[in-house]
Amino acid sequence: MSERRVVLLKNPPEMLAAMNDLEAKVKAYARSAGIADGFLHLLKLRASQINQCSYCVRLHTRDALDAGESSDRISLIAAWEESDYFDDKERASLALLEAITLIADGQVPADIYRAAAEALSEEELAAVEWIAVSINTWNRIAISSRTSVRP
């Protein structure tokens, strides 16, 4: 007998509408802050990898490709610290995103936040934080609903 779960992407529909509205606003704010669509999807991909959300990993890999990100940058996002494919702003953004995603591990450490604040404008900083909040929420929706990923 399979486990019965509420599918949060469908129930209740007004909650999904609110999440989609938030998503649209986060994306618009990120663009206005100068964050490229491809990198936005790499940020979402990295959080989804950490959270082990297979639905979002597949989605944001495809979205990053569609937005013009290279297969090298997509492949290396899980090991961004060991790669020269990401500039200082991107590295600060990734570190902050990871700290927010792993918030139970020491909150968001002051050194990571300070480094991000030095590398990013206030708008970029806020955009990265909102991206982290949004994707972590989506990950929890997909994971708790056991959203399937089939070939």
Whether 148 shows a pLDDT value over 90: the answer reads no
- Residue 136 tokens read as 């972590």
The two tokens of residue 65 are: 């490709």
How many Cα atoms occupy the beta-carbon half-sphere of 32 within 13 Å? 10
CATH number of 13-144: 1.20.1290.10
The pTM for the full model equals 0.94
As a whole number of angstroms, the distance between CA 140 and CA 71 comes to: 26
The pLDDT-based confidence of 53 (bands split at 50, 70, 90) is very high
Q: Distances in Å between the alpha carbon of 126 and those of 30, 103, 106?
A: 9, 16, 20
Compute CA distances 145 → 10, 22, 111, 149, whole Å.
10, 20, 35, 12
State pLDDT tens for residues 86-129.
999 999 999 999 999 999 999 999 999 999 999 999 999 999 99
Query: Is the per-residue pLDDT at 6 higher than 70?
Result: yes
